[in-house]
Amino acid sequence: MNIVVWILQAILAAFFVMPGVGKISGSREKHIADKHIKPDGNLLPIRILGVLELLGCLGIILPWLTGIAPILTPITAIGYCLIMIAGIINHTIKKEYKMLPMLLAVGIIALIVAYCRFTALNSN
């Protein structure tokens, strides 16, 4: 089971790398074109989300791998669940329903990782 959870952690890390980089490095025009913000919208929340997504890529792997503060791995997975819930709400409001299955699947993967890693911590 541990190998399966590691694979799920790697999937989560890989899933959030590109969007995180895009949110940090994308121009205002790109974010407006992608409908992340309105033309007069604030870019700061998008940048913050990108930083959090990239930190999550580290947090979903490194603490458990190194054994240094391993509690951060399931906490990161819970953070990913929250990001997916926010994404589901946001895309539902925008009536972008084709994104919902992917967001739900990623949220479920994150929930599985959180459950398995919290369980492993409590069994030690």
Give tens-digit pLDDT for 44-88.
Answer: 999 998 998 999 999 999 999 999 999 999 999 999 999 999 999
Phi-psi category of residue 67: left, alpha or beta, with phi > 0 → left and psi -120 to 50 → alpha? left
Any idea what the Cα angle at residue 119 is, between residues 77 and 60, rounded to 5°? 25
Question: Which pLDDT belongs to residue 119?
Answer: 96
Mean of pLDDT values over 94-104: 93
pTM to 2 decimal places:
0.86
Euclidean distance between CA atoms 75 and 85, whole angstroms:
15
Nearest in space to 58 (alpha carbons), one of 38, 72, 47: 72
Neighbouring C-beta atoms of residue 1, cutoff 10 Å: 8
Question: Which pLDDT belongs to residue 36?
Answer: 83
